[in-house]
Amino acid sequence: MSHSVIIALASPLSWIYWTLVALYGATVLAIVGVVLSENRNPVKSLAWITVLLAMPAIGILLYIFFGRNIKNTRMISRRNKRRLRRNESETAKSSDISALSPAERQQVEMGRVLTGAQFYTNNHVTVFNNGTTKFRSLLADIDNAREYIHVQYYILSDDTTGQRLADALIRKAAEGVRVRVIYDHIGSFGTSNAYFRRLRDGGVEIHPFFRVTFPLLATRINWRNHRKISVIDGKIGYIGGMNIADRYMDGGKFGKWRDTHLRITGPAVGALEYSFAVDWSFMGNPLVTEKTDTTPCGESAMQMLRSGPTSEWSNVEFMMIKAIGNARKRVYIQTPYFLPTEGILRALQTAALARIDVRVMIPAHSDSKILTYASRSYVMECLRAGIKIYFYEAGMLHSKTMMIDDGFCAVGSANIDFRSFEHNFEATMFLYSPEINATLCRQFITDQHDCTRIFQPEWRVRPLGHKVLESLTRLLSPIL
């Protein structure tokens, strides 16, 4: 080593530099150690380690904001949870599972073990396949409210649609109806403060879920409430994939927005009210214990599962895996983002290899290019197993549905991706109803007319650049 190099290494600035490098390296290794020690999904761990080693500076920040684990954090006190569960149990007390097949009974029991979710019979369900009819129905039900209105959305926009909802809620608050609203702070980040102030000034109790402000930015930004639930007077409930924004009506830049939402009357409204009450309490508000109507009014049976980063298990994912495993004839899935976990992917492949008709429909172009490429990275694995893949070409497909055989189906807010199964607070209704299954299957077949079916030969010869982007985004899919 030359004399000049020795002098350079011995200089104060040089020692400071190497000290900082050592500290930086130690920090990266420490975070890698934390990732490994959490014993999380190995695929997800590998994704985080790849990011940390490939771009340490950015990777550390990304992990601080998006990689931390809050599993088993309590959303509500045990005492309050027992109170709400008692109310919910009252609405489900006349329900039984004797009419279900053995496989379906086992699945309902699994839902109870996972979350304590009640099973409800004798409900009436209306299926909405577009935002216009759903929003018109919601406004009509709000206008007829007499006691209370509970509204929860991931996106609450201040555009024409949002203003119409605000007008209706303020009008009912002025009539003495109790109106409570939950919106996600990140999902509704582009909405003006004036919009929320207008609602508060109009007598609406409105709160953001997990408000993201400094210094709470790093501890809250990654865990979003993706649920879309409404309850009116304990008699009517809504659940599905539609938010409150103009694009859910007119399609926005896509020209058409295909989505699915349910209107429910009957005892199962108790499950929606329970979900809203837990989230309301989680934000520090007084416990809401509104009563729900238990009057039977239909023939559909159902069970709603909540899931989120605080859950012990990946509730919705596990129920979907179980449902796919129960399939004997068909599995139809619609999802805007298809980034399946290993469990979901293997369940679908296993079903297809057993000659079950497995079809997955995703948008040809979604509202996220990164997620579009990541979704397409799974196409060949599906095709090789015999899964039929359809790209929806008529606009944005935002529907989140699953239909199994002739009696089971699922509709809710959860996508088939890691974020919905692990990071977001989601709600999915699992229905045991031949009528609703048939309705959703008919819509699926109708949507196929607006799709391009993908086959292996043509997929193999897609541009090399697309293959590279798919591979890169696939590597990061567990943390997208």
Give the active site residues.
226, 228, 233, 398, 400, 405
Is residue 333 within 8 A of residue 342, CB to CB? The reply is: no
Return the sign of the alpha-carbon dihedral for residues 222, 226, 227, 230.
positive
What residues contact 424, with CB distance under 8 A and at least 6 apart? 223, 224, 225, 226, 308, 309, 413, 414
Is residue 145 within 8 A of residue 204, CB to CB? The reply is: no
Distance CA 460, CA 465 (A): 13
Return the sign of the alpha-carbon dihedral for residues 45, 46, 47, 52.
positive
Q: What is the DSSP string of 25-73?
A: HHHHHHHHHHHHHTT--HHHHHHHHHHHHHSHHHHHHHHHHHT---TT-
Return the sign of the alpha-carbon dihedral for residues 207, 210, 212, 215.
positive
Is residue 269 within 8 A of residue 236, CB to CB? The reply is: yes
Q: What is the H or E stretch that residue 409 is in?
A: strand 408-412
Taking residue 170's Cβ as centre, other Cβ atoms within 10 Å add up to 18
Distance CA 339, CA 354 (A): 22
Q: What is the H or E stretch that residue 128 is in?
A: strand 120-128
Q: What is the H or E stretch that residue 181 is in?
A: strand 178-184
Could you tell me what percentage of the chain is helix, strand and coil, using 3-state DSSP and rounding each to the nearest 5? 50, 20, 30
Enter the DSSP assignment of 154. S
Q: Chain centroid to CA 407: how far?
A: 23
Q: Chain centroid to CA 280: how far?
A: 18
Enter the DSSP assignment of 285. P
The three-class DSSP label of residue 430 is strand
Is residue 393 within 8 A of residue 450, CB to CB? The reply is: yes
Give which of 399, 409, 363 is closest to 107, Cα–Cα. 409
Distance CA 444, CA 347 (A): 21
Question: 256 φ, ψ to 5°?
Answer: -145, 140
